[in-house]
Amino acid sequence: MLRVRGLAILLVAAAPLVGCLEPPYSFAQAQKGAGGIVAWAKRFGDPGEQRVEAIAVTADGDVVIAGEALGTVAELGLSIAADRVSFVAKLSPAGEARWARVFHSSDGSQVRSLAVSPTTGAIAIGGEFTGILGSENGSTPGPGDPIGDGFIALVDARGELQWMRRIGGPDHQAVEALTFWQRTADHQAVAAVGYFAGPLCLDLAGAQTCFATPTGSDAFFLNIDADGQQSDPLVLGGTGDQRATALAFDGKNLLVAGTNTGSMTAGLSGVTLATHGSSDIFLYELGPDMQYAAGFGDHEPNCYPWCEVAVAVDSQHGVLFTGTINGTLDLGKGAHFANPLFPDTFVTRYEPTVAPPPGALSWLRILGGPGNEVRPYAIASRLGTHVAMAGLFRGDFDAGFGVWHGNHAAHDVWLAGFDAGGTPEWGTHLGSDFAADDPQPPPPPSLAVGPAGEVYAAGSFRGRLHVGNAELASAGDYDFFVIKLTP
């Protein structure tokens, strides 16, 4: 069975829905600050189950989404009669479908990440699958392990498949994050990170090479060239468990972030990072100018079992870094305390690296407070050095604009923008006025920024979703939505 995780948004209850919550749970003040106004919101789906796991924007402003579907998604021209499939689709800046492609798996698949080439418009999709994963043209990366193997696929700007690759072995492997990067001035490639338990087997230079993890799971980095050739694998691991779940390119180097629950050797740097408690966050720079491998945490379990982390790079090559915090966390500006029972969110900007660990701290904000839960899942640069973020919260939450009164029984979504100095600019609260009765944790939000600084968010929901002054209603099980917010 595949682990339920992905870049999506669960906002409301599983059927049957239960009664409305009493005020002050209200959407009258859902939007705060200047900017972040909802320009449009669209729902996709039918009484079956449809989820969005990731979103990206092309250089010319088209929107790319990826996820899973079972049933009919008429808005994308998809009709899935039997097993759930993974899909990737391109929308216009107005949210109208341009094309959609599907990947069939005999036992199930899940998208974890996608990335768009800023130069060619090619689209990389990554995730995990079991059974046989096949595309519309019959291509397959080979049979997957019953526990789950990773996969990476590349389609061109028109949605035509270029190649598919299996990232596998006899145990569990998953691709968690992707990005395009320039290896040289004329050589663009796809970088991938994820985790594996047991052997990780790759096709390197025409031969299969396997890497073993002694205990638990290890994180990995992998490069895939334009023709699908795998190269430059790197294991980030040791005792305990390590998972790499976030990735960004700063113009020279790759930034990898994730969770470490033991002692981790950070690849070529030779630096060993040991946890201070049960779960720490790591941030690792990989490339010709590699300067640092840093761990953050204390004796408290800073996140359990895995930390929500995200990383991005702004136009000045500053590093935008966010994650969950319990206990104390020193990010370069002294120790910061968070409620040890409920996770808070930190967000910080580091200057371009000049000395290890990460470059000088530009600013730091802690989002949360006592008695609530605030988790981040996506961060992006907009308008040069401004920041857009997305996450989930439960309870009451002040992101710097006044208090949002959220759903105390379930999770609501927050979207927020910060200026170049970390001062809050705008915020938007997405949620439902129904309580939740769902045994699964909510899928987290996905966010991307367009060329004019516009913000797109996507996710999955049940019941009724309040988006600005509008309301969307699901047709049955999970449907998904895409919204556009103005700068």
| Domain segments of the chain as ranges | 31-485
- pLDDT number for residue 214: 74
- Partners of 179 in the β-ladder: 191
pLDDT at 102 over 80: yes
pLDDT at 129 over 50: yes
pLDDT at 257 over 60: yes
Q: How confident is the model at residue 24 (pLDDT cuts 50, 70, 90)?
A: very low
Closest CA to 70 of 486, 479, 481: 479
- pLDDT number for residue 433: 55
Work out the average pLDDT over 83-87.
Answer: 82
**CATH number for the segment(s) 31-485:** 2.130.10.10
pLDDT tens per residue, range 52-84: 999 999 999 999 999 988 878 888 888 776 677
pLDDT tens per residue, range 401-434: 778 887 766 788 899 999 999 999 999 888 765 5
pLDDT at 22 over 70: no
- Partners of 286 in the β-ladder: 254
Work out the average pLDDT over 243-257.
Answer: 92
Length of the chain: 487
Alpha-carbon gap, residue 477 to 197, rounded angstroms: 33
pLDDT tens per residue, range 291-332: 667 877 766 655 666 789 999 999 999 999 999 887 777 787
Alpha-carbon gap, residue 463 to 479, rounded angstroms: 9
Of the two residues 111 and 474, the one the predictor is more confident about is 111
pLDDT at 10 over 90: no
Work out the average pLDDT over 219-224.
Answer: 93
For residue 217 the two structure tokens come to: 């799971």
pLDDT tens per residue, range 427-481: 988 876 555 555 455 678 899 999 999 999 998 888 788 887 778 888 878 889 9
| Percent of the chain at pLDDT exceeding 90 | 36
| DSSP alpha helix (H) spans, 271-423 | none
Residue 76 — φ and ψ, nearest 5°? Answer: -105, 0
- pLDDT number for residue 13: 29
Work out the average pLDDT over 342-347.
Answer: 87
Alpha-carbon gap, residue 451 to 137, rounded angstroms: 33
Q: What is the CA angle 375-379-385, rounded to 5? A: 135
pLDDT at 43 over 50: yes
